[in-house]
Amino acid sequence: MSRAIDNTGVRVAEQDSQVAAAFIVKSPQVHTVDGWPAKPRALRERDWLWVVVFILDTVSILLALSFVVLAMITIGLNGQPISPWGEKVKAATLLGPTIFPIVFARIVSRTVKASALDRAAKGAKLGVLEQLMGSVTIFSTLEVQLLLRSFNFLGCTLILVWALSPLGGQASLRLLGNGTHAIRSQQDLKYLSSDSVPLNYLTDYYNFEIDGLYSAALFSPPNAQATGMDLWGNVKIPVLETLQSGNSESEGWLTVNSSNATYSSLLGLPIDGLATSGQSTFTVETYYMTLDCPFLDHVSREEVNWTSMLSEEYRQTQPDDNSSFCHENNTNNVFGFIVDSKSNFSRHGVLLPNESPYSAAPPYVLFASIADEGYNATLANCSLTRSSVESNITCQGTSCAVTQMRRSTFDRRPSDYTPLYANYTRLTFWSSWANAAGVSLPFITTATPTELFIQNGSLTAAFATLSQALLVANLYELPARTFSVRLSLLWNTYWQCRLAPQYQTGYLPSNLTEFPDQGLTGNIVNATTATVTRLQPVYVSNHPWAIMLLIASLVLFICGIYGAILKCRTVAPDVLGNVSSLTRDNPYVPLPGGGTALDGLERARLLKDLKVRLQDVTPGDPLGHIALGCMAACLKGCEPNVPKLPGPTPQMVRGFGSVPSHGCALLASAHAQTEPAMIQSHKIQKPPGTLR
């Protein structure tokens, strides 16, 4: 092929001489570089830039150490209460996923580069250097192992180290959470004693309070009656006999299901001293009375011998007028109901809870109610027993319910012993109960609220319409079991109303001196101790993630220290991995002499305006030569001297053609021998040939 030499001395292909002249430079002149070293200098001079890099390295190492401290602090916060300091630590953990990978990438990448430079200065295999220089991210680490096919210990170690970067960031995010810790304490409580003597001597004074409290309980809505607390926040005691024995637990305790429990009274047990927060558990000793009426008799009032049926004490307390229930010849204008008994309640006297000197048949109580518009009556002869129970109560704050029950292990008195042993107590209780919550109108025959409740189960249903309210309660129509349960419920309710109505509605004094001294026997209050469990918000340390962060941070800290040591002891210029290093001793990039002590980035800073290109530097030859060369636009009129490199016999390297044994250290060009191919340099199409 013919050649053309232009006035700059650039040899080009004849057909594209003007295009090729802009790229291939062969001039004996050199490029002038501002700041290029003009005289020898010491390796690794410490200037202000070195100080800046040193400060950044120090800060990175301290940040790695801070994650170690952070993990240890979070472990120390485990179980600690929520605090401003803890919230600051928790906020710091949220920054971990952002900061940790950045610090990790800087430290580890600089450490592997420093290790590569240190090994290069001492002499190392090229594959090891490529492994290190290519492992600057976790993905590049995986890629370089695949491309080099170098699955050795170094490669596995680099992969494991880089895998700690995402794990450490996620570990920081999951270090600390919130939980609760149970704090238990003891608290003294007082509750109204069931053995308190009713306010008999002050009955007239307290009648208004007693009847008002009883009426409020009767007229309470059904959903309130079915709950474990009454309208005033007192705890209701269930009926032990209705609990299933299959729910029995250790020591005879039966589990109470508050959703379907049958309660002994519409009123609950007043308790003083409950903690307003947390869970309180305690045990109380109480009793309730049970009426068991096996049969309900439907009789004519005129055929009943009321004189022989009723006790002398009861007939003496009744008014002698035509509206009395007891007058056999009166079928109109009758009202009220009868509760009486001929049993000898006082034959046993007063017994203390730990006394059990006898066992006898229970007393019987007569209950009579008007039926069929006054012409007939419902009669029931019911046995009266007493059940002493222990109840485990659980409260969430001041909301309480009985959770377990059993027979009392302390109260040994027999079941037939009732608090009605005193005649006056018994008679005033029966006579006043019939008129409590309002009586029937004396001019018409109707039922009392008590009878209507027994018939309907609640007064809400009984007073749905006025006509129903005026009807007589035909209690004989009820099943005997249903009648017994409802009668016992109201019996215990009215009994509790007479014990202490002012304490039942929410005022149970903590100071015992505030209780009135009325000369009555029996304890007014009992004492118990509650175990109060408060759930305190605390910090919960995730120990597995904390250990993971400790491992990742310690590895990062060690890498930072190791990298700093390598940088201090290695004096060789950092020329690995920089494009500017390809200009070192490159005959196709004419530079001034010297500059071999320059680091790669320092050389790049000086040559940043130099235009280079990876190209065929012999576009006119049949055998091409690819190298990084300087473009003619920068160095016009220069022709470098391309030295012939004398040396020994070429060395054979697997995968390459013949290469001089010393050429690798001097030329920054790529040599390759391939099959004939079309090589394009800019717009010059080279004829088929080979590249060198």
DSSP characters over 648-669: SSPEE-TTS-EE-TTGGGT--B
**Quick one: 149 and 202 in the same domain?**
no
Going by the DSSP 8-state scheme, the letter that residue 300 receives in this structure is E
pLDDT digits (tens, 9 = 90+) for 557-570: 999 999 999 988 88
**Quick one: 114 and 101 in the same domain?**
yes
**Quick one: 643 and 494 in the same domain?**
no
Q: How many CB atoms lie within 10 A of CB 482?
A: 13
Instruction: Report helix, strand or coil for 248.
Output: strand
Q: How many CB atoms lie within 10 A of CB 31?
A: 17
Does 563 fall in a domain?
A: yes
> 61 burial class (0-12, 13-18, 19+ CB within 10 angstroms)?
buried
Q: Measuring CA to CA, which residue among 462, 351, 368, 467 is closest to residue 413?
A: 351
Provide the β-strand partners of residue 235.
229, 269
**Quick one: 54 and 37 in the same domain?**
no
pLDDT at 516: 52
pLDDT at 333: 43
Q: Which residue has the tokens 């004490």?
A: 313
**Quick one: 159 and 247 in the same domain?**
no
| Whether the Cβ atoms of residue 313 and residue 423 lie closer than 8 Å to each other | yes
**Quick one: 555 and 644 in the same domain?**
no
Contacts of 247 (CB under 8 A, 6+ apart): 254, 255
**Quick one: 111 and 240 in the same domain?**
no
Q: What share of the chain is helix, strand, coil (3-state, %, to 5)?
A: 40, 20, 40
Does 577 fall in a domain?
A: no
Contacts of 316 (CB under 8 A, 6+ apart): none
Residue type, 59: V
Domain hosting 241: range is 188-532
**Quick one: 100 and 210 in the same domain?**
no
Question: Containing H/E element for 76?
Answer: helix 48-76
Contacts of 457 (CB under 8 A, 6+ apart): 222, 486
pLDDT at 26: 45
CA distances from 71 to 82, 161, 168, 173 (A): 18, 19, 11, 11
Does 537 fall in a domain?
A: no
pLDDT at 488: 96
pLDDT at 483: 96
Report mean pLDDT in 10-residue bins for the chain, 692 residues.
36 36 46 76 73 88 94 93 93 92 93 91 89 88 86 90 93 92 92 73 68 91 91 94 74 88 94 91 95 93 81 68 47 64 69 62 86 85 93 94 92 82 71 72 67 87 61 87 96 89 76 50 77 93 94 95 88 83 86 82 87 85 86 52 38 35 33 34 43 45
Q: What is the number of structural domains in the chain?
A: 3
| Whether the Cβ atoms of residue 297 and residue 337 lie closer than 8 Å to each other | no
* Greatest pairwise CA separation for the chain in angstroms: 155
pLDDT at 633: 53
| Whether the Cβ atoms of residue 662 and residue 668 lie closer than 8 Å to each other | no
Does 114 fall in a domain?
A: yes
pLDDT at 358: 59
Question: Containing H/E element for 112?
Answer: helix 96-122
pLDDT digits (tens, 9 = 90+) for 68-126: 999 999 999 998 999 999 999 999 999 999 999 999 999 999 999 999 998 988 998 88
For residues 458 and 222, give the distance between their C-alpha atoms in angstroms, rounded to a whole number.
6
Question: Containing H/E element for 403?
Answer: strand 399-407
Q: Which residue has the tokens 């809870």?
A: 353
Take residue 434 and report the two structure tokens written for it.
């019939």
Does 182 fall in a domain?
A: no
Rg (CA), the chain: 52
For residues 132 and 112, give the distance between their C-alpha atoms in angstroms, rounded to a whole number.
6
**Quick one: 121 and 268 in the same domain?**
no
Does 181 fall in a domain?
A: no
Q: How many CB atoms lie within 10 A of CB 257?
A: 11
Does 671 fall in a domain?
A: yes
**Quick one: 331 and 466 in the same domain?**
yes
Residues in the chain: 692
Contacts of 377 (CB under 8 A, 6+ apart): 298, 299, 300, 301, 304, 368, 369, 370, 371
- Taking each helix axis from N to C end, the angle separating 153-173 and 84-94, rounded to the nearest 10 degrees, works out to 140
Residue type, 418: T
Instruction: Report helix, strand or coil for 345.
Output: helix
Question: Containing H/E element for 161?
Answer: helix 153-173
Does 582 fall in a domain?
A: no
**Quick one: 139 and 246 in the same domain?**
no
Take residue 625 and report the two structure tokens written for it.
């030569």
**Quick one: 131 and 203 in the same domain?**
no
> 36 burial class (0-12, 13-18, 19+ CB within 10 angstroms)?
middle
